[in-house]
Amino acid sequence: MSAPVRLVARTGADVAERLARSAAAAEGAHTATSEVPGWLDLHRLLSGTVIRRIPFSGLDHWSFAPDTGNLRHSSGRFFTVEGLHVSGPGTEWEQPIIVQPEIGILGILAKEFDGVLHFLMQAKMEPGNPNLVQLSPTVQATRSNYTKAHGGTAVKYLEHFLAPRREQVLTDVLQSEHGAWFFRKRNRNMIVEVDGDVTVHDGFCWLTLGQILRLLRLDNVVNMDARTVLASAPALHDETRALSSDAGLLAWFTGERARHDVRARRMPLRDIAGWRTDAHSVSRADGRFFRVMAVSVEGAGREVAGWTQPIIEPVERGVAGFACRFFDGVPHLLAHARVEGGFLDTVELAPTVQCVPSNYAPEHRPPFLDVLLDASPDRVLYSAVHSEEGGRFLNAESRYLIVETDEATTPARPPLGYQWVTPGQLNWLAGHSRYVNVQARTLLAVLGPALRGDGAP
């Protein structure tokens, strides 16, 4: 173990350089990269967790409010499932939405070993994960959880994130969650460095950024919350020019927000049109998009051993992908100014394609979807399946893609609502709130290795 070092305030460039050194470290001082999948499997077996679908009547402390039909917890904490009405020029719809106004903490603890930053990652069970246990941030907790509204045990390592000294903070930004399923939900994304001894509890391990990036090549290993924290951190980029200046990019994005005069308001769940409620689900009459379900969690090995809760289940695996082109040798990504009903500012930058294909008739398939799905293998720079937020979504997976395209399929002058951005510009915007959506942040987290052609472990 290296001797403790005294932390001093650092600039964003200093942090980016240290993160780049960690990203270059394919192995760390403690756990081998090849051991991590087996380590996660072991925790999955030892937990003995069982997830069961149950009728709404089987929920403990959850019920439909008699006046609104909203699903709520008897404590008034955690979250509610309500209705949402969205309207704008040429568009209008209603849907269920999760309302969770409290800001949670997604925090990764960092420490230098042998001069290289390592990150304390957790083997965390979440009921919605397809494989239950994935690599997660050191702390991943809602305010209700870390204030013990559930009556359970304390969140480990939480003290490092509640009031860190300024010189300890490597990144700290409020980021949005899934705007299609959450109403204006935000979490605090943090990386905090320590220089003293840290007890490594069972279910935690130190990994370099390089190790985490290699694990991101595997399906369903690194969870969504870890991906968004890493994407929010500053990165080094050697771009010499971009198709749009930073000022031009911001002007275009501001214009997109102004162009979309979309209004969203909460409404009673029982009144939403086109949805029906039965004993087991709230779902669309045509079976599209998603359904609200209820699950029972037993043997969780978490702050509490078991619980019941509502959860959202999409009807099918989604696709989220960036088209990528090189202009004068500089990589550019085709970003989409995407409207989602739950966004605080209506529009955020999203991948080129973000959808569940089966939700669309053949004549209404999203632009560029077939360009990404039909790409030849030599043009696919990155492909992996990752699950979305496992605490609120059940079996919510997407195929994440980065595909190299050409002028014939993705022109240099893109259609309305799309813009070419460099990785550096996307990283710059991800360092601020409400610019880059959570799916785009997943792809931003893997972008460097994908463009370099780094292989899987």
DSSP state of 285: T
- The confidence score (pLDDT) of residue 456 equals 43
Which tokens go with 12?
């964003």
CA 441/CA 226 separation, integer angstroms? 10
Element (H, E) at 38: helix 36-47
Candidates 142, 146, 150, 138; CA nearest to 110 is 138
Which tokens go with 57?
């009547």
pTM over 0.85: yes
User: Is residue 429 within 8 Å of residue 435, measured between CB atoms?
Assistant: yes
Buried-state track 391-425, b at ≥16 Cβ within 10 A, e below 16: bbbbbbbbbbbbbbbeeebbeeebeeebbbbbbbb
Phi first, then psi, for residue 154 (nearest 5°) are -70, 155
- The confidence score (pLDDT) of residue 269 equals 98
Task: Chunk the chain into consecutive blocks of 10 residues (it has 457) and report each block's average pLDDT, rounded to whole numbers.
Answer: 44 87 95 97 92 98 97 95 95 96 95 97 96 97 65 84 94 96 97 95 97 98 98 89 95 96 96 97 95 92 80 97 96 97 95 96 94 97 97 98 98 97 97 97 92 61
- The confidence score (pLDDT) of residue 146 equals 60
- The confidence score (pLDDT) of residue 339 equals 95
* Residues 182-227: tens digit of each pLDDT: 999 999 999 999 999 999 999 999 999 999 999 999 999 999 999 9
Element (H, E) at 334: strand 330-339
Whole-angstrom CA distances from 384 to 211, 222, 230, 298 are 16, 11, 17, 29
Would you mind telling me the total number of residues written for the chain in this entry?
457
Q: Which residue(s) pair with 319 in the sheet?
A: 355, 399
User: Is residue 33 within 8 Å of residue 215, measured between CB atoms?
Assistant: yes
Candidates 326, 320, 417; CA nearest to 372 is 320
Phi first, then psi, for residue 15 (nearest 5°) are -60, -45
Residue type, 445: A
- Residues sharing a CB contact under 8 Å with residue 328, sequence separation 6 or more, in sequence order: 240, 241
- The confidence score (pLDDT) of residue 178 equals 97
Phi first, then psi, for residue 273 (nearest 5°) are -80, 145
Rg of the chain over CA atoms, in angstroms? 22
